[in-house]
Amino acid sequence: MRRIAIHVTLIAATLLGASALRARGAWALMPPHVRESFPRNGGLLSSDTVWLLGYSLSYADWKRVSVEDLTRNTPVSFTHKLDCKWVGQCKSAGMVGCRQQRCEARLHLASVEVGHRYQLRIERTTLTFTASPISVTLQKVGIPPTGRVCYDYHLTLKNRGSRPCAIKRIDIWLKGRRVGSTPAKPIALRPGATHSFVHRSCGGTSIGLLSRTPPSVNAFCTPRASNR
């Protein structure tokens, strides 16, 4: 009985010690927050998906996350997918010994209307963006036979708006970094028309192909007069 009592006492002391460590922040978890997003705040939404990069997003209160169509003043339903992994300890002051959980989140919006403004609220972050008339689909990413680190982005653009336009600039973002801008000359697209091409980007690291998160692409549309 005495041995059992000693054993129970040791277990209790261990648990109390662990609680004390957690109280001092030794086992603290970095609070949920968003570090990067695509589209960025105030940017263009060229698909029906919003990408977020942050920490501890799996611990966010997703029941309170909301997307609103500001043009119609109506909520927008969405589904989300999380990909998180532990990446070591925090380095921020006052949180010595805390854990970092790096997360990527993709929010698929049920409906997106061209020209409408949307607002996303998650934890303490608020993002607004406008649906672009040009949708961009990444068909695949290839590795060309070069001696450098290069990627071939097979892209398809579609004018989902009601007016013809000329695309003079296309930005390709990878993990919050712009890795390329094309085309060399404007691309004319009538409503409903598509245009497919391959953009090659060289330099940097192989993060794009190692990650399960594909690049995000924005195409900027300059309205053109209709042909009569």
What is the tens place of the pLDDT at every residue in 100-110? Answer: 888 999 999 99
| Largest Cα span, the chain | 99
| Same structural domain, 63 and 147 | no
Residue 203: phi and psi, rounded to 5, are: 105, 170
pTM: 0.72
In a domain, residue 2? The reply is no
pLDDT digits (tens, 9 = 90+) for 6-24: 444 444 443 443 344 344 4
- Are residues 157 and 191 both part of a single domain? yes
Which domain CATH number covers 117? 2.60.40.1220
Q: Are residues 119 and 201 in the same domain?
A: no
Q: Would you give the end-to-end CA distance of the chain in angstroms?
A: 98
CATH number for the domain spanning 154: value is 2.60.40
Are 170 and 125 members of one domain? no
Q: How high is the pLDDT of residue 67?
A: 98
3-state helix, strand and coil shares in percent for the chain, rounded to the nearest 5: 15, 50, 35
Containing structural domain, residue 86 = 33-131
Q: How many domains does the chain have?
A: 2
151 and 121 inside one domain: no
Q: What is the pLDDT of residues 63-94, one digit of tens each?
A: 999 999 999 999 999 999 999 988 776 665 55
Last residue of a domain, one of 92, 112, 131: 131
Residues 138 and 126 in one domain: no
Residue 227 three-state SS: coil
86 and 163 part of one domain: no
The answer on 176 and 94 residing in a single domain is no
What are the start-end ranges of the E strands in 14-124? 33-38, 43-45, 49-55, 66-69, 74-75, 78-89, 99-109, 117-122
